[in-house]
């Protein structure tokens, strides 16, 4: 494995083998950072795609550009694209993906303003403040209001909202997070909750049961009892750690670990709560079924 700041990406022994497909199955692909593709024969929903990864120097000093070839190669189809918050590593590629596939971009006011900046028509934008069920074919999705973790020296990075479209192409600091949403995706057979940042609001998760939780791995560093509380609230069968890899490694290269992420420790903590940890490799696929 390549190293970054002396840290290595998770070893292959942590990776879980695909589960056998059964009735009501769901295929999940991990895109790195907080990105996933959720797919059945009837629907494809993409969460927080970011494949056009600039290196750290270019990210800090230059406008950010999308790599459409990567999107068309790895996400050739999408019906809906859900955005948890509007930081660049969660939203930069979403408007281009929607243009290529005809998918709707669904998210906060800030997320939709990013879509407008990139030239998406209003017909492909769905604004939500959360707590409402939005039909996605036979599926439904609901944004659960949340908060961003204090992930940079105890502070929330790039806080604030975007009430008007930002410059395009943007520099990384021009994309504020806006309203943060955890997503509940109900396929009719399985329910997935996507927690894309290092924090959450417990009251917004109460009364929801999830089969699968995609859980931001860095959250364990900043919120006490992060895993334990998520399990108590959502009672999942599976937890898929995400956002453990840096957003500066090229998408098709080996992943590198974010400093401070203890993925093996997270797996132990998940399994101590009686839940199955499913660690997915970059670009890896997993099938979940009832």
The pLDDT tens digits along the chain (290 residues) read 344 333 456 666 677 777 766 778 999 999 999 999 999 999 999 999 999 999 999 999 999 999 999 999 999 999 999 999 999 999 999 999 999 999 999 999 999 999 999 999 999 999 999 999 999 999 999 999 999 987 766 788 899 999 999 999 999 999 999 999 999 999 999 999 999 988 999 999 999 999 999 999 988 888 889 999 999 999 999 999 999 999 999 999 999 998 889 999 999 999 999 999 999 999 999 999 98
Q: What is the pTM of this model?
A: 0.94
The beta strand positions in 202-281, using DSSP E, are 212-216, 238-242, 276-277
Q: Which helix (H) or strand (E) holds 284?
A: none
The span from the CA of 217 to the CA of 274, in Å, is 18
**DSSP state string for 171-195:** PGGG----SEEEEEEE-SS-EEEEE
Q: How far is CA 51 from CA 74, 97, 98, 132, 195, in A?
A: 9, 10, 14, 29, 19
Reply yes or no: is the peptide bond before residue 169 cis, omega within 30 of 0.
yes
Q: Say if CB 87 and CB 175 are below 8 A apart.
A: yes
pLDDT at 157: 84
What residues have CB less than 8 Å from 17, skipping those under 6 apart? none
pLDDT at 153: 60
Model pLDDT for residues 72-124, shown as the tens digit of each residue: 999 999 999 999 999 999 999 999 999 999 999 999 999 999 999 999 999 99
pLDDT at 221: 82
């Amino acid at each position: 494995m390549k190293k970054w700041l002396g840290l290595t990406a998770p070893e292959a022994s942590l990776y879980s083998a695909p589960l056998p497909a059964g009735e009501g199955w769901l295929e999940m692909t991990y895109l790195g950072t907080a990105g996933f593709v959720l797919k059945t024969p009837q629907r494809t929903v993409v969460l927080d795609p970011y494949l056009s990864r600039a290196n750290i120097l270019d990210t800090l000093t230059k406008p950010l550009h999308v790599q459409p070839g990567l999107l068309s190669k790895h996400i050739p189809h999408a019906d809906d694209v859900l955005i948890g918050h509007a930081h660049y590593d969660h939203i930069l590629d979403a408007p281009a993906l929607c243009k290529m596939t005809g998918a709707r971009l669904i998210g906060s006011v800030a997320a939709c303003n990013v879509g407008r900046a990139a030239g998406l028509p209003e017909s492909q934008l769905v604004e939500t403040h959360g707590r409402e069920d939005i039909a996605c074919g036979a599926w439904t999705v609901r944004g659960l209001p949340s908060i961003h973790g204090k992930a940079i020296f105890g502070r929330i990075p790039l806080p604030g909202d975007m009430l008007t479209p930002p410059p395009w192409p943007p520099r990384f600091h021009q994309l504020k997070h806006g309203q943060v949403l955890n997503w509940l995706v109900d396929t009719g057979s399985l329910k997935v909750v996507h927690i894309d940042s290092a924090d959450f609001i417990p009251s917004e998760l109460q009364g929801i049961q999830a089969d699968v939780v995609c859980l931001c791995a860095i959250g364990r560093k900043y919120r006490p009892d992060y895993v334990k509380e998520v399990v108590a609230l959502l009672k999942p069968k599976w937890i898929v750690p995400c956002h453990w890899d840096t957003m500066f490694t090229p998408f098709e290269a080996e992943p590198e670990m974010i400093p401070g992420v203890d993925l093996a420790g997270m797996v132990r903590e998940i399994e101590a709560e009686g839940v199955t940890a499913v660690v997915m490799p970059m670009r890896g696929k997993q099938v979940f079924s009832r």
